[in-house]
Structure 1
Amino acid sequence: MDLDAVRTFVAAAEAGQFQEAAADLAVTQQAVSKRIAALERHLGVRLFLRTPRGAELTIDGQAFLPHARGLLRAAERAVTSVRAGRRPLRVDMIASRSAASALLRGFHRAHPEIDLDVVMLFDIEKAVAAIRSGAIDASFRAVAMPGRPLPEDIEAVRVIDEPLQLLTGPAHALAGARSVTVAQLAGHRIWMPGIVPGTEWAAYYDDLVAEFGLTIEATGPNFGSDALLDTIADTPALATFMGGHTRLVWPAGHGLRRIPVTDPAPVYPHALLWRRDNPHPALATLRAHLAAAGTGQDAAGTWTPHWAIPR
């Protein structure tokens, strides 16, 4: 349906005269008449009756008017959803239960007046490409990839260092520990299905294994966090890593343990990435909010890969 014709119909219906509608739309009266006639042919009904007082809606015109207004509102929303500076701030993150998700929820609570769209792209290459094209405004990513520096037009700043925790079932050998050192984890099976080669989180765990001689198994299909928690609860020989700020809910009978890892404490370094010349007005507000939140932690006693985005 021709939206210009629909817009002209609504203007004429509200003005009650084609001439006044033409003035409002900055077109000729002839153009108004042609658009209305084309719309009537498309719908197969008369929308107006010409009278000495102007143009009056027919019964069909009265029935069509609220829907025509709805079409125009929908069109405006569609345009606003993609127009830079007017569309919502569009931010990418890896997972809905991550530390980045908690940061973004805090931003939304602090600035409810800012419209926000949350997307989840698979890996850092897709996120960077979307930032550079303007499809998204920012992305929460853990680290730069080793040997693949970020493009010069991309800015990045560390916003939170998330400590890793060991998650075990109640019968695991380390279940009763108040904390464990990295050295104590040597020889224990740490199961993490869903580590995809080539991703930044795979690079992070590859370096963790190489640095401390750990055993991380990524075998088997990834059925999601609920299935992972079920398996860890029922299998004494398995444990897994979870971010300390990752939200988890499990049945009371699972008896799972979240145990801090120390000496040093491996941290997952979340950073915010954006394009230097991004014009979205809310992006600066997001950056200021994250800077004021002060969610990082001191580097002393922690470990990150040497190629992580620096503070």
Structure 2
Amino acid sequence: MDLDTVRTFVAAADAGRFQEAAAELAITQQAVSKRIAALERDLGVRLFTRTPRGAGLTIDGQAFLPHARDLLRVAERAVASVRTGSRPLRVDVLTSRSAQSGLMRGFHRAHPDIELDVMMLFDVETAVAALRSGAIDASFRAVAVPGRPLPDDIESVRVLDEPLQLLTGPAHALAGARAVTVAQLTGHRIWMPGIVPGTEWAAYYEDLVAAFGLTIEATGPNFGSDALLDTIADTPALATFMGGQTRLVWPAGHGLRRIPVTDPTPVYPHSLLWHRDNPHPALAILRAHLAATATGHDDAGTWTPDWVVPR
């Protein structure tokens, strides 16, 4: 059903005269008559009775009018949902407790007037497809995973290098250390059940293992961070890696330790991705905010995989 004819019908019903409806719509009276006639043909009923004094709704016209108004309201909402600047900025983060989520909380505090939709997509291919389709405006990812170059229409900028920390229970052999070197981790079992083969974070940890001869186990189901913390607290032989800016809360009785890793410090590279033709005005504000708050990259004494884009 053509929305212009529905809009013309509502205008004529409200005005009671085709001439006044034509003036409101900035079209000719003849065009109003043609649109109403076309709508009546489509519906198979008469919507107006014409008299010298104007146009009155028939019984069918009265029945159709509230539905016509609903159609126009739905159309307006549909347009508003995608109109630049009138919909929330849609940003993909990995998890709600991640450093990426923390970056978006900082942005929201700095710009509380900007509406946000924060979502969590699983892998980089899904995120890139969503950026290209317009389903999201930005995504935080590690760039660029081997064998997965970004399409030419996807831009990226590195916004945060997050140091890894070792998380242990109170009885672990390294629990009392103020800091541990990467070399000291050799031979210790680091358990990370959230690593999924084929993801960018799996590629990161594969290179970390290869570079320093570490032992990272991804066995067993991933029941989430709370279950991971319970296991680490109760198992002296296990430790895990956590991002230094990952937000975690655990019971006081767990006695968990977060220990800096040094010599070198492995850092996880977070980049912001977006489509180069995305016109959402809040996207430029987000990029400027992240540029102003970004820390240094590739600092002395840190490590990232060779495939990480150095910018």
TM-score range, shorter chain: 0.7 to 0.9
Task: Give 1:227 deviation, angstroms.
Answer: 1.9
Distance 1:86 1:218 in 2: 43
Q: Deviations over 1:86-109 (max 9, x none)?
A: 543332222222111111222223
- Contact preservation (8 Å) 1:40, 1:47: no
Verify the 8 A CA contact 1:5 1:38 in the aligned structure 2: no
Q: State the 1:165 CA deviation.
A: 1.2
Give aligned pairs, total.
308
The answer to whether the Cα contact below 8 Å between 2:127 and 2:139 also exists between their aligned partners in 1 is yes
Q: Indicate the residue corresponding to 1:156 in structure 2.
A: 156
Q: Is the 8 A contact 1:208 1:214 kept in 2?
A: yes
Q: What is the alpha-carbon root mean square deviation over aligned residues?
A: 3.3
The residue type equivalent to 1:145 in the other structure is V
Q: Say yes or no: does 1:106 pair with 2:106.
A: yes
Q: Could you list the per-position Cα deviations for residues 37-61 of structure 1 after superposition, in whole angstroms to 9, with x for gaps in the alignment?
A: 589989xxx9989898756789999
Instruction: Determine if the alignment matches structure 1 residue 15 to structure 2 residue 18.
Output: no
Q: Counterpart of 2:207 in 1: which secondary structure?
A: helix
C-alpha deviation, 1:205, in angstroms: 0.1
Whole-Å Cα distance in 1 between the matches of residues 34 and 255 of structure 2? 73
Partner of 2:33: 30
Does 149-158 or 189-198 show the bigger shift? 149-158
Does the Cα contact within 8 Å between 2:99 and 2:245 map onto a contact in 1? yes
Residues 75, 167 of structure 1: alpha-carbon distance in 2 compared, 3 angstrom cutoff: farther
The DSSP-based 3-state class of the residue aligned with 2:82 is coil
- Greater alpha carbon shift after TM alignment, 47-56 vs 158-167: 47-56
Q: Is the 8 A contact 2:5 2:36 kept in 1?
A: no
The CA deviation string for residues 62-103 of structure 1, in whole angstroms up to 9 with x for no partner, is 999787656534432222323456543332222222111111
**What is the letter of the counterpart of residue 130 of structure 1?**
A
Q: Which segment drifts farther, 60-69 or 301-310?
A: 60-69
Task: State the one-letter code of the partner of 1:128.
Answer: V
Does residue 78 of the first structure (1) align with residue 81 of the second (2)? no
**Structure 1 range deviating more: 5-14 or 134-143:** 5-14
TM value normalised by structure 1: 0.82
Secondary structure, aligned partner of 1:210: helix
Aligned equivalent of 1:306: 306
TM (normalized to structure 2)?
0.82
Q: Give 1:20 deviation, angstroms.
A: 1.9
Alignment of 1:169-188 (within 5 A): 169-188=169-188
Q: CA deviation at 1:198?
A: 1.4
Which one-letter code corresponds to 1:230 in the other structure?
A: D
